[in-house]
Amino acid sequence: MTTLLKQNISKHISLSEKEAEEFSALFRPQTIPKKGYFLKEGDVCKFEGFVNKGLFKVYLIDEKGFEQILSFPREDWWIGDIDSFINQSPSHYFIQAIEYSEILVISKEDKERLYQNIPKVERLFRIMGQKSLIALHRRMSENLRKTADRRYIDFIEKNTRLSQRLTNLQIASYLGISHEFVSKIRRKISLKK
Amino acid sequence: MTTLLKQNISKHISLSEKEAEEFSALFRPQTIPKKGYFLKEGDVCKFEGFVNKGLFKVYLIDEKGFEQILSFPREDWWIGDIDSFINQSPSHYFIQAIEYSEILVISKEDKERLYQNIPKVERLFRIMGQKSLIALHRRMSENLRKTADRRYIDFIEKNTRLSQRLTNLQIASYLGISHEFVSKIRRKISLKK
C-alpha cells in the first residue's frame, strides 16, 4: 500500500496491521502513459482505481460529437465508472490520462471480498460515495445556477494548481462553455486588472 | 418502522429485532401536504427522509430564473440534499411535494448514532449512496448523449406509472427541454401511430 492510500483510508477508518495487509493485497499497481485510457466507452469497467500519481479526465461524447468532461480525477481520488463497475454493463464514459499516471486497481470480486472480510471498509466507501455524490451535485448545480463568467472565475480560484495542469480547452469542456468563450472571459478579466 | 422501510432495508442488510427497534426509534413520521416543502433554497437540510407515500420534485432555480428538476423522489426513495445535510450548509435546492406525502425523517446526529450503534447500517447507506450516484450519472449522461426526442420517449417508456403522476411541464423541466418542444414531440409520436 502506498503512503497516499494509507493516508486516504486513515482519514475515515483505522485498520490493524493485519487488516491493512489484507486490504493492500487485493490491489495491484498499474501505470498509464499520458493519453492512455483507463476506460473506454462500450467497455465494462472491470476495475476501480486509486490515483497515486497523475491526472485523468472523465468524459463522454455528446449527441453532437463533442467531448464533455465530467471530472479531473487526480492524486488521492478514486476513479472508475460506478454504474458500469457495479452492474458490469458497458460504460458511456472515457477515462483518459492527461499525465503519466500511477494507480492501484481492485476488481469487483475483490472489492466484495474486502466488504466481507473487513466490514469497516463499508464505512470508507460509504463516505467516498458521499463525497462523489456531493462533487457531482456541485458541478451540476453550478452549471445551472451560475453564468459562464462566474463558473470560470470560481473554477480558477478554487483550483489554482489543477488549472495549471489543464489546457483552456479542457477547462472549457468541463465548465460546459466554448473555447472561444473562455478566451473572451480571459480577455475581460485581464482588462479589469 | 413501516413495512416499506423494512423491505427497503432488508434488501441489503438483516437487522435483529433489537436492532430494528433501535433503528426505527431514531426516525419520526412527518406528513407534507401537496405543494408543501421538505427543503427550500438557503435553508440547511437538517433531516434526511424515507418516502413512505407520495411524490416530490427536487429542483433548483437556474441563472435565467427557470426551474430545473433533478429528480422525482417517490415511494421507497430517500430524500434530502446530501451536501447540505453532511456539511450543514445552506442548500441550493428546493424539495417540494407534488402529492400529499408521508415520510420518516432522521437528523444528522441520529444518523451518526445509527452508524456508531449498528455498524452494518454503513453497508445500507453505502449501497444507497451508490444507487444515487448511478441515478445522477445516468440523468447527466443521458441529457448529454441523447436527442430531446429520444430522452422523452425513453423517459415515458421507462417510467410509465410515474409519468402519469406528472405534468408535461414537470417532465420537460426534468429532461431539460422546453414545454413547447414536449408538445411537438408528442404530436410527432401520435402522427407515427
CB of A135 within 8 Å of any CB in chain B?
Answer: no
pLDDT (0 to 100) of residue A143: 87
Pairwise CB contact (< 8 Å): B134 & A63: no
ipTM of the complex: 0.91
CB of A65 within 8 Å of any CB in chain B?
Answer: no
Tens-place pLDDT, residues A145-157: 898 889 999 999 9
Size of interface A-B (CB pairs under 8 A): 91
| CATH class held by domain A3-119 | mainly beta
CA distance A19 to A154: 41
Average pLDDT of chain B, as a whole number: 93
Tens-place pLDDT, residues B108-150: 999 999 999 999 999 999 999 999 999 999 988 898 889 888 9
pLDDT (0 to 100) of residue B160: 94
CA distance A129 to A82: 10
pLDDT (0 to 100) of residue A179: 82
Pairwise CB contact (< 8 Å): B82 & A140: no
Pairwise CB contact (< 8 Å): A144 & B93: no
pLDDT (0 to 100) of residue A193: 63
Out of A132, A136, A141, the one facing B92 most closely (by C-beta) is A141
Exposed/middle/buried for A109, CB within 10 Å: 0-12, 13-18, 19+? exposed
Angle among Cα B169, A133, B171 to the nearest 5 degrees reads 10
Which residue is associated with the grid cell 422523452?
B152
CA distance B114 to B106: 10
Residue B175: helix, strand or coil by DSSP? Answer: helix
CB of B147 within 8 Å of any CB in chain A?
Answer: yes
Tens-place pLDDT, residues A58-110: 999 998 899 999 999 999 999 999 999 999 999 999 999 999 999 999 999 99
> Looking at beta carbons, which residues of chain B come within 8 Å of A141?
60, 92-93
Q: Which of A50, A97, A56 is nearest to A73 (CA)?
A: A56
Task: From first to last of the 193 residues of chain B, give the pLDDT tens digit.
Answer: 788 999 999 999 999 999 999 999 999 999 999 999 999 999 999 999 999 999 999 999 998 899 999 999 999 999 999 999 999 999 999 999 999 999 999 999 999 999 999 999 999 999 999 999 999 999 888 988 898 889 999 999 999 999 999 999 999 999 988 888 888 888 887 777 6
Pairwise CB contact (< 8 Å): A83 & B120: no
- Global pTM reads 0.91
Pairwise CB contact (< 8 Å): B137 & A63: no
Which residue is associated with the grid cell 441489503?
B12
* Dihedral angle of Cα A67, A69, A75, A76, to the nearest 10 degrees: -140
The DSSP secondary structure of B34-81, one letter per residue, reads TT-EEE-TTSB--EEEEEEE-BEEEEEE-TTS-EEEEE--BTT-EES-
Q: Where in chain A are the domains? A: 3-119
Distance of CA B90 to the CA centre of its chain: 19
CB of B122 within 8 Å of any CB in chain A?
Answer: yes
CATH architecture of B3-144: Sandwich (2.60)
> Residue B37 in contact with residue B80, Cβ under 8 Å?
no
Q: In chain B, which residue's Cα lies nearest the Cα of A140?
A: B140
> Looking at beta carbons, which residues of chain B come within 8 Å of A132?
133
What distance in Å separates residue A65's CA from the closest CA in chain B? 9
- Give the mutation candidate from A126, A139, A175 for the B interface (greatest B CB count, under 10 A): A126
> Looking at beta carbons, which residues of chain A come within 8 Å of B126?
122-123, 125-126, 129
Lowest mean pLDDT segment, chosen from A38-47, A73-82, A179-188, B101-110: A179-188
Sign (positive or negative) of CA dihedral B77, B78, B84, B87: negative
What distance in Å separates residue A62's CA from the closest CA in chain B? 4
Q: Predicted confidence band at A1 (pLDDT cuts at 50, 70, 90)?
A: confident
Distance of CA A84 to the CA centre of its chain: 15
CB of B135 within 8 Å of any CB in chain A?
Answer: no
B168-175 and B179-192 helices cross at what angle (nearest 10)? Answer: 100
